[in-house]
Amino acid sequence: MRYFAKLQGQKEAVPVDIEHLGGTQYRLTLHEKTYTVDALTLDHGAVSLLVDGTSYPVEFEESGDEVGVLVRGQVTRVDVADERRLRLRAASAGFSAEGKQVISAPMPGKVVKVLVKQGDEVKEGQGLIVVEAMKMENELKSPKAGKVVELLAKEGTTVENNAKLAVVE
Per domain, the residue ranges of the chain are 2-88, 97-168
CATH 3.20.10.10 fits domain 97-168: no
116, 151 Cβ separation under 8 angstroms:
yes
The yes or no reply on domain 2-88 and CATH 3.40.50.300 is: no
Cα distance between residue 49 and residue 27, in whole Å: 12
Residue 78, C-beta contacts closer than 8 angstroms, at least 6 positions apart: 5, 6, 7, 8, 66, 67, 69
Query: Would you say the pTM of this structure is higher than 0.85?
Result: no
pLDDT value, residue 147: 95
Q: Do domains 2-88 and 97-168 have the same CATH topology?
A: no
Neighbour count for residue 116 (Cβ, 10 Å): 19
3 state SS of 17: strand
Strand partners, 28: 18, 35
pLDDT in tens, the chain (169 residues): 888 888 877 888 899 999 999 999 999 999 899 999 999 988 777 899 999 889 999 998 877 668 888 888 888 888 888 878 777 766 665 555 678 899 988 888 899 999 999 999 999 889 999 998 877 888 899 988 999 999 999 999 999 988 999 999 9
